[in-house]
Chain A
Amino acid sequence: MNKRLVVTLTATSAAILMAATASKLFAAQPAPASETAPIILIQNATILTISHGTIEHGSILIKDGKIAEIGASVKAPKDAQVIDANGEFVMPGIIDCHSHIAIDGNVNEGSIAVSSIANTADVLNPEDIDIYRDLAGGVTTANILHGSANPIGGQTIVIKLRWGQPASKLPFEGAVPGIKFALGENPKHSNFGGRGTEARYPATRMGVEETIRGAFSEARDYKAKWDDYNKHVNAGEKNLIPPRRDLRLDPLVEVLEGKRYVHSHCYREDEILMLLRVAKEFGFKVRTLQHVLEGYKVADELAAAGVGASTFSDWWSYKEEAWNAIPYNAALMTRRGVVVSINSDDAEEATHLNQEAAKTMKFGGLSHDEALKLVTINPALQLGIDKRVGSIDTGKDADIVIYNRDPLSAYAVVQKTIVDGRVLFDREKDIADRPNLEKEKKALIEKEKKEQKDEKKSDAKPGDKKPEEKPKMQNDAAVVGGAL
C-alpha cells in the first residue's frame, strides 16, 4: 500500500479497521510465560552499547531477563544457552515512540474533540500480527498511541512486545502512562470525515488551541472541586455529596499533576509554540512532540522547554502541513540540544527503524552513535524508561537485537530479537517453522471440507423416501447450473 495512504489512514484508523483479524501462520509461537527466562550468553559479538561505545568480540550474559554481565570475555555458566554471534552486531532493542499496533478496534475515538475517556490500555490486542512483525524488525518496546483526530485524544500506554503473552502482560511496568494530543489538520478534520456529516468543532488551529484550553480549565475546576470536597471530609464533615468522577477529566488532572505524559502530534512551527504556551499557562509539561516535522524551525524553543521530539526520517508532502518537512529535521534538532527520536506511526515502517535512523547520517551528518540513539536511548528517555532499556548496560532489561551486519545499513537483517531475556524472534526458527504451519493450515482446510461434505450427506437423510424420476431432477439441476 502506498505509504501516503497509510499515513492518511492511520490518522483516521481506517487501516486498522481494514486489517483482518490477526493470524500467526508464520509467527513462531514463543515459549509460555511461566517458564523462567533461560540463562543466555551471547558471545563473539560486535556490541553497540549506546552508552559506552562499541565492544568488538564482546559477550553479554543474560540472567533472569536482565543483562548480568558485559565484557570482552564473560564466563558462561554451565547451564547457559550460548549464542555465538560470529562477529554479528548486537544492539539494544529498538523503541518506537509512536505506534498504533496491538490495538483492538478503531485507533481513534474521533467523534468528540476531547476523547480522553478512551484508553488504549483497555484494548490491547496481544495477538496482532504486527507485534511479531515489528519484533522481526528489532523493535522491543512501543508507545501505543490513540489516533490524531482530536485536540485531546485518548490515553496511551507503553508496551513491551511480549509476543505470546496475554494483554495484561504487555504494559511496560512502571512506565508513566500518557495521553495523545493532536494539532493541525487532523484534529481539524481537514482531510477526512464522512461526507454529509456535520463539521465537528474545532475546524481551525485557533479552535484547536481553545479546545485544549477549555478542557484544562475544566480540569482545573474539577480538581478544585475534589480538593474542596476532600478538605471538608478531612475536617470531619459528613453527608457531603462527592463530585461526580469524570473519566474524561481524570487524565487531564493527572497531566496537571505531572503523573501523565503528554505526547502531542504536531507539524507546523506555529502550533508547536502554541502548545508550549498553553502548557505554560496551565502549568503542565509536554513530554514529547510527535512528528513535529517543523521542529527544526523552532529547535531552540523546544530545547529550552525541555520537550522531546519524535519525528519521521524522510516523510514529506503527503499533506499540506508536511510540505516543509525535511529529512534533516532530526539532525537539526539534535544539534540544538533537543532529545530526538525517530518513530514509525506505521507497523511496516517500524520494521526498519534502524535504517530510518541511518538517514540522519546522510541528512545532517549525525555520527553513527548519535544515529543509533534516535531509536534506542533517546526514545527511552522520552518515555521515562531509560533506567530499564535503551542501552546495553549491566542491570538493564535484556532487550537485545542481533543483526547480521551494522544495523545502520539497508542490508542489515535481524537474526534474533530478545525481550526480557527470552528469544521472541529467531529468523532461523521462523523460516524452519513455515512448512509446518502451512501443513497445519492445509490439513484444517481439508478437514473442514470433509465435514461440510458429510453434513450435506446427512442432510439428505438417507432414510427418507428417495425422490422419483431422479435423472430428471439431475437434468433440471444441470439447467440451473448452466445458467450460472
Chain B
Amino acid sequence: MKLRLLSRIAIAAGLTLVVTGAAFAQQEPPATIAITHAKIFTLAGAPIDDGVLVIKDGKIAAVGTNVDVPAGAQVIDGKGLQIYPGLFDSVTQMGLSEISAVSATVDTTETGKINPDAVAADAILPSSEHIPVTRAAGITEVLAVPASGGFDSRGSANLFGGQASAIHLAGWTINDMLIKKSVAMVIDWPTIDTESFDFATFSRKQRPYSEAKQEYDKQVDELSDWLENARHYAVAWGHGGPAEYQRDLKLEALVPVIRGELPVLVFASRVREIRSAVEFCDKQKIKMILAGGAESYKVKDLLRSKNIPVILQPTLTEPLDDDDPYDRSMTTAAELANSHVKFAFGSFDNSFARRLGQQAANAVAHGLAYDEALKAVTIYPAQIFGLSDQIGTLENGKIANIIVTNGDPLEITTDVRYLFIKGQLTSTDNKHKALYEKYLNRPKAK
C-alpha cells in the first residue's frame, strides 16, 4: 500500500519511476529537482525547518530557507518530511556476495594470504539483488570490502585482503557506481588463538599459547616483510621504473600504502591485536583505520592519540566474553565518542546491511548522542575514507546522495519516501517488494 502511495506521489511530482523488479531507475541527464517545505538535516549545521533543497546536475545546488526554486525544476512537496544525507555503510561485501553459503556466488575472499592487488571494484556485480534491498533502507553508498568476514568454508585467512572500493548503490555499470576505486588496503590482523573450531572434525581444539603466539609473530613478520619489500620496490621504481626489478603486482599494490597515500583498514577485535596493529602501523608510518574493534573501548586513549578512526562492529553483536556486561557491544560507540575517537558504523554484512540504522539507534539507546549516531552513518565514514569533499552532508557542491523520509532514518519503522543517488531519483523497489506484491495478490487458495 505504501508502495502505491509512493508511486502516486512520484507521479504527482511529475517524475517517472521505473518499477520493474529490482531494477534501479536512473535517467540521463539528471533533472533539476527542488524539495520544498521539508525539515532538512544537513549535518553541516543546525537542522533547517521548512527548507528547500535544490539538486542540479547530480549535485546539491542549494540548501536553506531562502532558496529560490529554479525555473523548470521538478518540485517535490516535502511537507511533513525530512531530508538527510543518504546513509553510508562502512563495511559490506556489497556486490561481492549474493548467497553466502553458495560459494559460486561469493567473491569476497581470495585464496592465499597476500592479495593486496585484489580490488573490490573489479568484481562488484552492479545488478546484485542486495543493492536495491539495501538502498530501500536509505543507504546510498557503501564500502565494498574484500576479505571482510563472511563465512569462508575453506577457512583461508588473508593477511593483505585487497583494496576496498567506495560505491554508490545505483548504476548500470561499475563506472556509474564508483565513488573511489581504492579507498583502503584491507589487513586481516592475525590473532593468537589458543582455541579453534575444526570444521573437518567438528570439534574444538586447543593448543598451547606459546605455539599460537609463535605462529602469530610469524604472520606479523610476514606483513612487515611485505611492506619492507614494497619500500625497496618503490625506490627502485622511483629510479627509472621497474627495469631493475621484475614487475611485481602485489608489491606495486602496496606502494601507495607505504607512501601514506592509501590507509590500511585493519580488522582486529581484541585489545592485544589492536595494540599490536597500532604499533605496527606507527612503526611502518602507514595510516590505519581500525575495523571491528570489539575491544576498542579498552584502547580509546591510544586510538585518540594516534588519530586512528574506528569502523565499529555491529552493535547487535553478542559480547566477546561471558564476563562482559550484557550491553557491552551497545555501549562501545558512546565510549569512543566521549573520548573523541572518530568512528563509523558498519554492518559488516550484506543481508543485514539494512540494519545499519537500527545498529546506530541501539547505540543511542545506550548513551551515544543522537547527532553523533547520525554522523557515524553519514559524514564520519566519508571523512574517514577521505570522501567528505564529495558526500556525507547536505552542502552545496556535494554529490546529491539524499534521502527523504517520514521520520528518523535510524528508527526501524521509518519509511524512505524518496531516494536520490548522484542527484537522480532512484527507486526503492527491490526483489523483496516484488515478491511481496506478487504474493499479496495471490488469489485465495481453494
Asked if chains A and B are in direct contact (CB within 8 A), the reply is yes
Q: Give A residues with C-beta under 8 Å from B.
A: 1-5, 8, 12, 14, 17-27, 129, 132-133, 136, 185, 190-192, 194-196, 296-301, 304, 314-320, 322-324, 326-328, 332, 335, 347-349, 351-352, 355, 358-359, 361-365, 408-413, 430-431, 434, 437, 441
Q: How far is the CB of B425 from chain A (nearest CB, A)?
A: 21
Q: Are A318 and B100 in contact (CB under 8 A)?
A: yes
Q: Are B412 and A359 in contact (CB under 8 A)?
A: yes
Selecting from B40-48, B162-170, B275-283, B436-444, the interface stretch reads B436-444
Closest-by-CB residue of B relative to A130 is B318
Which of B100, B101, B349, B355 has the largest number of chain A CB atoms within 10 A?
Answer: B101
Closest-by-CB residue of A relative to B149 is A2
List CB contacts (< 8 Å) of B315-334 with chain A. Answer: 316-319, 321-327
**Complex CA–CA separation, A190 to B355 (angstroms):** 28
17 contacts between A and B (CB under 8 A): A3-B349, A20-B321, A133-B326, A191-B101, A299-B439, A299-B442, A316-B351, A317-B130, A317-B351, A318-B99, A319-B99, A362-B415, A364-B436, A408-B412, A409-B411, A411-B361, A411-B364
Q: Are A326 and B317 in contact (CB under 8 A)?
A: no
**Complex CA–CA separation, A192 to B199 (angstroms):** 8
Q: Are A317 and B326 in contact (CB under 8 A)?
A: no
Q: Are A194 and B201 in contact (CB under 8 A)?
A: yes
Closest-by-CB residue of A relative to B195 is A18
Q: Are B352 and A3 in contact (CB under 8 A)?
A: yes
B203 at the interface (CB under 8 A from A): yes
**Complex CA–CA separation, A317 to B415 (angstroms):** 23
Q: Are A317 and B350 in contact (CB under 8 A)?
A: yes
Q: Are A20 and B322 in contact (CB under 8 A)?
A: yes
Q: A347-B318, A411-B362 are in contact. List 10 more A-B contacts (CB 8 A).
A: A2-B151, A18-B195, A129-B322, A304-B445, A320-B99, A328-B436, A332-B439, A409-B411, A410-B411, A411-B411
Q: How far is the CB of A311 from chain B (nearest CB, A)?
A: 14
B366 at the interface (CB under 8 A from A): yes
- Number of B interface residues in the complex (CB < 8 A): 64
Residues of B within 8 A of A296 (CB): 435-436, 439
Q: Are B412 and A358 in contact (CB under 8 A)?
A: yes
Which of A1, A23, A25, A299 has the largest number of chain B CB atoms within 10 A?
Answer: A1
Q: How far is the CB of A62 from chain B (nearest CB, A)?
A: 24
**Complex CA–CA separation, A347 to B324 (angstroms):** 15
Residues of B within 8 A of A27 (CB): 326
Q: Are A314 and B354 in contact (CB under 8 A)?
A: yes
Q: Are A26 and B445 in contact (CB under 8 A)?
A: no
Q: Are B365 and A1 in contact (CB under 8 A)?
A: no
Residues of A within 8 A of B325 (CB): 26, 430-431, 434
**Complex CA–CA separation, A410 to B407 (angstroms):** 13
Q: Are B411 and A194 in contact (CB under 8 A)?
A: no
Residues of B within 8 A of A2 (CB): 149-151, 348-349
Known: A297-B439, A362-B413, A364-B436. A410 touches B362 (CB 8 A): yes
Q: Are A319 and B101 in contact (CB under 8 A)?
A: yes
Known: A2-B349, A362-B415. A320 touches B151 (CB 8 A): no
Q: Are A300 and B100 in contact (CB under 8 A)?
A: no
Closest-by-CB residue of A relative to B436 is A328
Q: Are A23 and B323 in contact (CB under 8 A)?
A: yes
Q: Are B2 and A365 in contact (CB under 8 A)?
A: yes
**Complex CA–CA separation, A361 to B410 (angstroms):** 15
Q: Are A410 and B351 in contact (CB under 8 A)?
A: no
B239 at the interface (CB under 8 A from A): no
**Complex CA–CA separation, A190 to B103 (angstroms):** 12
Residues of A within 8 A of B442 (CB): 297, 299-300
B358 at the interface (CB under 8 A from A): yes
**Complex CA–CA separation, A196 to B99 (angstroms):** 25
A-B complex: 10 closest residue pairs judged by Cβ atoms: A25-B323, A300-B445, A410-B361, A319-B101, A328-B436, A348-B318, A23-B322, A326-B432, A26-B325, A317-B351
Q: How far is the CB of A202 from chain B (nearest CB, A)?
A: 19
